[in-house]
Amino acid sequence: MIKFLTQFGRYFLLLKKVFSKPEKPSIYYKQTVRELIFLGVNSIGIIAIISFFMGAVITLQTAYNTENPIYPKYLIGLGCRDSMILEFSSTIAALILAGKVGSSIASEIGTMRVTEQIDALEIMGVNSASFLILPKMIATLLFNPFLTIIAIIVGIFGGWIAGTFSGVLTSENFIYGIQYEFIPYYIVYSLIKTVFFAFIITSVSSFQGYFVEGGSLEVGRASTKAVVYSSVLILLFNVILTQLLLS
Amino acid sequence: MIKVVNLCKSFNGKTVLDNISVTFEPGKTNLIIGRSGSGKTVLLKSIVGLHEIDSGEVWYENTLFNKLDFAGKKKIRSEMGMLFQGSALFDSLTVEQNVRFPLDMFTDNSSEEKIERVNFCLNRVDIKNSNNLFPSELSGGMKKRVAIARAISLNPKYLFCDEPNSGLDPITAILIDALIKELTVEYSMTTIVNTHDMNSVMEIGEKIVFISEGVKCWEGNKNDILNSDCNTLNDFVFANSLAKKLRATK
Ligand SMILES: Nc1ncnc2c1ncn2[C@@H]1O[C@H](COP(=O)(O)OP(=O)(O)O)[C@@H](O)[C@H]1O
Ligand SMILES: [Mg+2]
């Protein structure tokens, strides 16, 4: 318990260091662009592929579970839309990103720690926490909402392809379904969750990497911990945020 | 001048440095020697403030360094250069970008001025035609040289080297040692070098501090070191059989 509290304290002290005033904004800007590409643009592929197949599967499953003619067919499109918007595009995508982005952040920063690159920054008088973590934070907070939008669009497209090509419903039915009683606030809800999750992934993974002690073995452990802890926190905050935002 | 007074440092209750007091002089290569695990790295990192010390004082000229806040430390750090044991070059940057990094971070020089300074420093450490290589493409000796170039890029007043020649062959090791000594004299820096290598001690040791298990046992210069009456030091100095034989004939 005491160990947990000290970790918690160290985490907030680190955040405080991260959010202090940047010394050379132009260099931070360059780093942020680099991270946008590295952490953001490079994640589009995996998010698109997984969203496409999830959309497809959700559509087919909804279809086969509602074969009874009392259900109108357009419900299938509606089901696909709502699952993609409410859960998949934010929560599941965040879990995938925790695996991809979180482990890469933790191992990058952890390697810099054990090879004394962080010490080298500190000795020059650079605020290493801010220099290394802030650009990643800004990059993910800015870019992950785009990933969410991409996930929604590609997922629904996947549903449409699967639905119409398998013949479980017509294209018109599907399109009617995805427009039926559309609540724009759901998208806002999803984007808010995404921003929270992006913060969790980046801060928790950076924390794990920044305080590694030892060698490559510990870096590996830190990156596993980064994924596990951020995933658990994402699931926890998913419940909390849903209660706050939808009730 | 750097002065350390009654410095103590422990990790989780285990004392690593016990009441160390020593003065390091400007324009000289000051050596901290001792066996592996004796606390050299911890001492060096405590002096530069990478480790928070438990008690004691670290003075840079007339400034009490260990009590400064981040901004105050930053000012003195702009006058420090450090060479880490594993070189600690930034993996994601090329040789040129590595040496340029402190210039980008702390000067408002034009791009041409920076490039000129980078090339000057790289030349000074004998690295040529490698500006666009990444650290992973360099040999151990080259990495050390590039790290030295990065450390001197802002004309530091203080230079710290942690085992500058560990992992190098004897000839390259002596070249790196000689380079550090030359630079020290050239820029009248206060240089502190950690080493466990007796070759370095005899080549570049002007002021030598010997620590054993976190305690300062002996201090002097390379002429005295062969005639000390400190037993732990003699065990260290005359560790190999060649040295033992020479001593017996003396
Ligand atoms: N971060 C740390 N946490 C705990 N113990 C440490 C740490 N750094 C060094 N030590 C301990 O301090 C002692 C001295 O280490 P060090 O200064 O690295 O020796 P060396 O003289 O070889 O450089 C060793 O016993 C080491 O285990
Ligand atoms: Mg050491």
pLDDT tens track for B67-107: 999 889 999 999 999 999 999 999 999 999 999 999 999 99
Structural domains present in chain B: 2-79+159-249 (3.40.50.300), 94-155 (no CATH)
Q: Is B13 in the pocket of ligand 1 (CB under 6 A)?
A: no
CA angle A48, A53, A58 (to 5 degrees): 125
Alpha carbon of A62 to those of A52, A74, A153, A188, A191: distances in Å? Answer: 16, 11, 18, 25, 25
Identify the bridge partners of residue B57 per DSSP, sorted by sequence position.
B5
Residues 6+ apart with CB under 8 A from A25: none
Angle of the A117-124 helix axis to the B95-106 helix axis, nearest 10: 30
- A→B contacts (Cβ < 8 Å), by residue, are 23-24, 27, 111-112, 115-117, 119-120, 122-127
DSSP A22: P
CA torsion sign, B70 to A104 to A140 to B107? positive
CA angle A15, A135, B105 (to 5 degrees): 100
Atom of ligand 1 nearest to the CA of B39: 17
d(CA B237, CA B244): 9
CA angle A31, A37, A38 (to 5 degrees): 80
Share of chain A above pLDDT 70, in %: 100
**Residue B231 confidence class, pLDDT cut points 50, 70, 90:** confident
Ligand found nearest the CA of B166: 2
Measuring CA to CA, which residue among B64, B51, B58, B68 is closest to residue B9? B51
How much is the ipTM here?
A: 0.91
B90 touches chain A (CB under 8 A): yes
Cβ contact A190:A92 at 8 Å: no
DSSP calls for B170-213: HHHHHHHHHHHHHHHHHTT-EEEEEE--HHHHHHH-SEEEEEET
DSSP A85: I
User: What is the average per-residue pLDDT within A45-71?
Assistant: 91
Half-sphere exposure for B13 (CA within 13 Å, toward CB): 0
Q: Is B36 in the pocket of ligand 1 (CB under 6 A)?
A: yes
Ligand found nearest the CA of B164: 2
Q: Is B34 in the pocket of ligand 1 (CB under 6 A)?
A: yes
pLDDT digits (tens, 9 = 90+) for A78-122: 899 999 999 999 999 999 999 999 999 999 999 999 999 999 999
Residues 6+ apart with CB under 8 A from A143: A36, A39, A40, A41
Question: Which candidate from B89, B102, B160 shows the least CB-CB separation from A124?
Answer: B102
DSSP A88: I
What ranges in A167-215 are assigned the alpha helix state H?
A: 171-179, 185-210
Q: Quick one: tokens of B55?
A: 């008690």
Which of A238-242, B61-65, B233-237 shows the lowest mean pLDDT across its residues? B233-237
d(CA A147, CA A101): 13
Cβ contact B31:B205 at 8 Å: yes
Atom of ligand 1 nearest to the CA of B44: 17
Given a cut of 80, is residue A202 above it in pLDDT? yes
Q: Quick one: tokens of B128?
A: 């040529």
Q: What is the mean pLDDT of chain B?
A: 91
CA torsion sign, B202 to B205 to B207 to B208? negative
Q: Considering only CA atoms, which residue is closest to atom 27 of ligand 1? A: B37
**How do beta strands B29-33 and B207-212 pair?**
parallel
Residue-level pLDDT at B203 = 83
**Residue B250 confidence class, pLDDT cut points 50, 70, 90:** low
Question: Which candidate from A23, A27, A120 shows the least CB-CB separation from B84?
Answer: A120
User: What is the average per-residue pLDDT within B168-188?
Assistant: 90
Predicted TM-score (pTM) of this structure: 0.92
Q: A115: which chain B residues are within 8 Å (Cβ-Cβ)?
A: 86, 88, 91
Residues 6+ apart with CB under 8 A from B55: B6, B7, B8
Measuring CA to CA, which residue among A182, A187, A190 is closest to residue A242? A190
User: What is the average per-residue pLDDT within B104-117?
Assistant: 93
What ranges in A36-127 are assigned the alpha helix state H?
A: 44-65, 74-83, 93-97, 103-114, 117-124
The answer to whether the Cβ–Cβ distance between A122 and B80 falls below 8 Å is no
Cβ contact A193:A91 at 8 Å: yes
Residue-level pLDDT at A65 = 86
Q: Is B40 in the pocket of ligand 1 (CB under 6 A)?
A: yes
Q: Quick one: tokens of B114?
A: 């920076």
d(CA B118, CA B87): 17
Atom of ligand 1 nearest to the CA of B85: 23
User: What is the average per-residue pLDDT within B29-46?
Assistant: 94
User: What is the average per-residue pLDDT within A125-144?
Assistant: 95
Cβ contact A176:A75 at 8 Å: no
Given a cut of 90, is residue A57 above it in pLDDT? yes
